[in-house]
Amino acid sequence: MTRNSRRLMAVLVGAAATLMLGCSSLKTPATADVAVSKAAVDNAAGAGAAQYAPVELMAARDKLALANKAMSVKDYKLARDMAAQAQADAKLAQSKANSAKAQAAADAVQDDIRVLREELERNL
Amino acid sequence: MKHLYLTPVVLALATLLAACGSSPKSTSLLEQAHSDYRIAQSNPNVGRYAPLELKQAGDALAQADALATERASSEKIDQLAYLARQKIALTEEVAKQKMAETDVRNAGQERNQVRLDQRTNEANAANIRAEQARQVALLAINDAAQSQADTDRARQQTQAAQMDAANAQQRATQLEAQLGELSAKKTARGMVITLGDVLFGTDLSRLTSDGEASAKKLAKILELNPQRTVLIEGFADSTGTAEYNQQLSVRRAMAVQTALQTLGVGRERVVIRGYGESYPVAANDSAQNRQMNRRVEIVLSDEAGRTIAR
First to last CA, chain A: 110
pLDDT at B37: 97
Residues in chain B: 310
Q: Tell whether A56 is covered by a domain.
A: yes
pLDDT at A23: 46
pLDDT at A6: 77
Q: Is the pLDDT of residue B300 over 90?
A: no
Give the mean model confidence (pLDDT) for residues B165-173: 84
Cα distance from B97 to chain A (closest Cα, Å)? 4
- What's the CA gap between B144 and B53, in Å, rounded? 81
Q: Is the pLDDT of residue A24 over 60?
A: no
pLDDT at B266: 86
Of B82, B114, B115, the CB nearest to A85: B82
Q: Are strands B230-235 and B270-274 parallel, antiparallel or unpaired?
A: parallel
Q: What is the CATH number of domain B170-300?
A: 3.30.1330.60
Of A84, A91, A105, the CB nearest to B100: A105
pLDDT at B4: 64
Q: Tell whether A21 is covered by a domain.
A: no
Nearest-5° Cα angle at B85, B65 to B59: 45
The DSSP output letter for B299 is: E
| Contacts with A96 from chain B: Cβ below 8 Å | 93
CB–CB of A99 and B82 under 8 A?
no
CB–CB of A113 and B86 under 8 A?
no
CB–CB of B87 and A84 under 8 A?
no
Cα distance from B44 to chain A (closest Cα, Å)? 17
Q: Is the pLDDT of residue B219 over 70?
A: yes
CB–CB of A123 and B103 under 8 A?
no
**Beta partners for residue B230, in sequence order:** B270, B300
pLDDT at B121: 86
CB–CB of B121 and A106 under 8 A?
no
Look over chain B and give the mean of its residue pLDDT values, rounded to a whole number: 86
Closest CA to A28 of A73, A71, A87: A71
Q: Tell whether A8 is covered by a domain.
A: no
Q: Tell whether A13 is covered by a domain.
A: no
- Choose the weakest-confidence range: A34-48, B24-38, B263-277: B263-277
Q: Tell whether A2 is covered by a domain.
A: no
CB–CB of A106 and B82 under 8 A?
no
**Beta partners for residue B270, in sequence order:** B230
* The dihedral sign for the CA sequence B179, B185, B191, B197: negative
Give the mean model confidence (pLDDT) for residues B199-207: 66
| Contacts with B98 from chain A: Cβ below 8 Å | 102
Q: What is the pLDDT of residues B7-38, one digit of tens each?
A: 777 777 666 655 555 567 889 999 999 999 99
Q: Which domain holds residue A103?
A: 29-123
Higher pLDDT, A98 or A27: A98
**Beta partners for residue B274, in sequence order:** B234
**Beta partners for residue B299, in sequence order:** B192, B231
Best mutation target among B78, B104, B109 (most A Cβ atoms within 10 Å) is: B104
H or E element: which one contains B104? helix B74-181
Q: Are the beta carbons of B272 and B253 closer than 8 angstroms?
A: yes
Backbone φ and ψ for B234, nearest 5 degrees, come out as: -95, 145
Q: How many Cβ pairs within 8 Å bridge chains A and B?
A: 76
Higher pLDDT, B265 or B11: B265
**Residue B189: C-alpha distances to residues B162, B268, B305 (Å):** 28, 20, 13
Q: Is the pLDDT of residue B107 over 90?
A: no
Higher pLDDT, B207 or B102: B102
Closest CA to B272 of B245, B226, B234, B215: B234
**CATH number of the domain that A67 lies in?**
1.20.1270.390
Q: Are the beta carbons of A41 and A57 closer than 8 angstroms?
A: yes
At residue B141 the predicted structure's pLDDT band, cuts being 50, 70 and 90, is very high
Nearest-5° Cα angle at B157, B153 to B158: 115
Give the mean model confidence (pLDDT) for residues A54-58: 95
What domain count does chain A have? 1
CB–CB of A116 and B89 under 8 A?
no
CB–CB of B107 and A109 under 8 A?
yes
Q: Are the beta carbons of A67 and A74 closer than 8 angstroms?
A: no
Higher pLDDT, B82 or B196: B82
Q: Tell whether A23 is covered by a domain.
A: no
Give the mean model confidence (pLDDT) for residues A33-44: 95
Q: Are the beta carbons of B87 and A88 closer than 8 angstroms?
A: yes
Of B86, B93, B115, the CB nearest to A99: B93
First to last CA, chain B: 185
DSSP H stretches of helix in chain A: 2-27, 31-46, 49-52, 54-72, 76-123
| Contacts with A109 from chain B: Cβ below 8 Å | 103-104, 107-108, 111
pLDDT at B201: 63
pLDDT at A59: 96
Closest CA to B108 of A76, A42, A110: A110
Interface contact A37, partner B, CB < 8 A: no
Cα distance from B79 to chain A (closest Cα, Å)? 7
Give the mean model confidence (pLDDT) for residues B194-213: 73
Backbone φ and ψ for A67, nearest 5 degrees, come out as: -60, -45
CB–CB of B86 and A99 under 8 A?
no
Q: Is the pLDDT of residue A26 over 50?
A: no
pLDDT at A5: 74
pLDDT at B178: 77
Q: What is the pLDDT of residues A88-103, one digit of tens each?
A: 999 999 999 999 999 9
- What's the CA gap between B206 and B267, in Å, rounded? 17
- What's the CA gap between B96 and B30, in Å, rounded? 25
Q: Are the beta carbons of A102 and A52 closer than 8 angstroms?
A: no
Residues in chain A: 124
Of A85, A103, A116, the CB nearest to B115: A116
- What's the CA gap between A30 and A75, in Å, rounded? 9
CB–CB of A84 and B110 under 8 A?
no
Q: Are the beta carbons of A37 and A83 closer than 8 angstroms?
A: yes
